[in-house]
Amino acid sequence: MKVAISVPNPVFKAAEHLARQRKVSRSQLYSEALSAYLGSRGADAVTAKLNAVYDAESSGLDDVLAHAQLRSVADETW
């Protein structure tokens, strides 16, 4: 899909330089950059959702389970 965008001159020049350096088209460079940005924002969204769950629910272990875990590693040497 074709998209028209405006970017500041210094960003455009840096992107042009990087595209030439990597021997990729400007379109490919912008597409990769946008994909990376969206991917990182997706991880942030997952983290935010998990934080919301743990804000509402306790993440602590049940006492019985905690004691069982401690007993299972009591003889371990670290």
Q: What is the pLDDT of residue 56?
A: 86
Q: What is the pLDDT of residue 53?
A: 87
User: Please, what's the b/e burial string for 22-55 (b: 16 or more CB within 10 A of its CB; e: otherwise)?
Assistant: eeeeeeebbeeeeeeeeeeeeeeeeeeeeeeeee
Q: What is the pLDDT of residue 28?
A: 96
Determine the length of the chain: 78
Mean pLDDT by groups of 10 residues along the chain of 78 residues: 92 97 96 90 84 84 87 78
Neighbours of 12 (CB within 10 A): 13
Domain ranges in the chain are 9-72
